[in-house]
Chains A and B, each alone.
Chain A
Amino acid sequence: MDYFLQQLINGVTLGAIYGLVAIGYTMVYGIIGMINFAHGEIYMIGAFIAVISFLVLGLIGITWVPLAVVIVLILTMLFTAVYGWAVERLAYRPLRGSFRLAPLISAIGMSIFLQNYVQLVQGARVKPLPPVMSDVIVLMDRAGGFRVSVSDLQLLILALTVTLMIGFTQVIARTSLGRAQRACEQDMKMASLLGIDVDRTISLTFVMGAALAGVAGVMVTMYYGVIDFYIGFLAGIKAFTAAVLGGIGSLPGAMLGGLLIGLIEAFWSAYFSVEYKDVATFVILVLVLIFRPTGLLGRPDLEKV
């Protein structure tokens, strides 16, 4: 029971991170019907920006943790937003209206380019980040039992994710930008007939998704303490699986899918085998694509315009 509880806490933490990345996949798919394969790299870049920012803040003497974390989050979101914007501008917009496979190939190319770019400028070796937050709250510690604890960092990850997801959902549901995004999703031509700048709306969708992936990058860096230029690949596939599992195109679906993937990964590692934890995700991806391609919360009538 205690062991189970601990895995639950770990799984939810992981799920929060995957969920944030999954939102970017699902929103971009919703609006332009394309899988942005470079999205995992944006998350990886977010992780690198986090490491660099923490280092620089340490050098200039900003060591008060809450302040440092806030600054790093803001910096990372800004930078990843710019990267997301640039990726759309360079790799996808010029191909809008061409055959369906073209942007997909371009996306894969972009992904390889970003990986190599980071490898080139940052080196291929693993980058460590000394623990920024290391306090642990022990929840349960019975004699002979398993110690159940939650770290400050885990609480921060959960609180931040929940806040961002609520904020994000509100933006989509209530603001004029969110309405414009949904309008583009349902009928791009009509959206432009109403005076909506479709290109700008698509850009902003990439920017928003990238900023969320940036936050996930910061959190994963703090959580695991090591990153390399390759982390975007696996995390990208997992988050993509989360988006597909939840129902690609669906915002609550991405959150739910992220949570489920995080839980499955945590429990799989805990009860079966750590070595094969990534296989679990791939198995799910294949099964969902075969048996329920619309996912858990996806519409069966996923019409694309």
Chain B
Amino acid sequence: MEKLNPEIKNQIENELLGTVGRRYRQETFWVIFLGVICIGGTVAWIIQLRKGLGVTAMRDYVSWGLYISLLFFFVGVSLIGALVSCVLRMSGAKWRYPLIRIAEAVTLSAIFFAGFMPVLDMGRPERLYFLITHGRIQSPILWDVVAIATYFIGSVIYFYLPLIPDLAIMRDKLTDAPMWRKKLWRWLAMGWEDNLLQRRLLKKAMLILCIVILPVAISVHTISAWLIAFTLRPGWNSTIMGPYFVFGALMAGTAIMILIIAKLRHGYRLEHYLTPKHFNNLAKILLALTAFYLYLNINKYGVPAFKMAKEEKAVLEDLFYGKNAFLFWFTQIVGLIIPIIILSFKKIRQSIKWVVAASVMVLLGALINRYLIVVPNMLHPFVPIQHAQHGYATYNPTLIEWTITASSLAGFVLLIILLFKPFPVITMWEVIEEVEKRGEKEIGVENIVNFQNIPGHAS
């Protein structure tokens, strides 16, 4: 085991602190770009608030559309924090350390937007507080509200706890920062002195939180699945919905995680910290999850397809060779089968480019899949649609809906970037401690010790 000398600890901190508050040209471009989309979405939302939900393409048959699909997507993505911080922790994967803060940032942003989507979808958002004043505990919506709120608070704490020692490092090291920042850091670091007792307490708190947050995370998404599984509608009335949502979510979250670390690696020059080892390991997880999700899909669609009960038939036909067939087969083939093939080969899996490509496909598939869970089922109720007015028996989202959808996704990415800005994206103290204890290899970092020898990296 190699012991790090204080000088090298110093250098790790210097490098990781280098991203704090620093401006990157590409990043600034993205922030402006995403910000503009968000402004567009806000305008669309104001129009929607004034004119009512009539500006969307939702009508009495398809009474839930893109917004609820996105709710499911965001709730799902928020599971990635629990996967990295809890599941990987319990399985003893040491390479998780550089990923923890990134995963928690994704979680925070996703759960924030997950809480926002239902408000966008409400006919009477000004009555939101009725959920508290008149809430009825038997409704799954209320469970969802409670679960999302709990998970949000839990995620904030989980984001904050490992940040404390890093804030203390920032407080001590970045002495030329503006006064208000220094004050804020001092306040947030809560008198962290980095002694043994503090470390022990912090680690204990993180362990307890990790145990508590996992069931909360799973319940958040299971309850979202129940929103539709608790109805009697053909296609939704199914016991597989809970696990189907949870594993689909983990899969989408892992894909997003891969894409984000791929971007950060170059954007923030973190090649030594986010290494092929991380991509390779995440790719293996993604492979397992996509394969399992394919298996769940076979169960979800295959079992009723064999029986072809009258009501299910209309939905299944729509998906297999009807109006939604293209999207359906896209999610199955491009979203699952091709990524599985790509990720199955060790050689290909070791190339970051291919892993990223597979993740893009999985993510696209997962997004479309959320839509396919919601909309086609609503178009095929028990009582066949008859005498429908124009626009009632179809669902073609309007420009307003697309704008709001796009800006929610943009806002999600923007919030992640903004969460990366004020803090080092990699948990410094944990990485230093683990490198000290186990060496670079197990943590998955490379050459961080002599990085200053590589020209152009010292910042």
A, B: real partners: no
B interface residues, Cβ below 8 angstroms from A: none
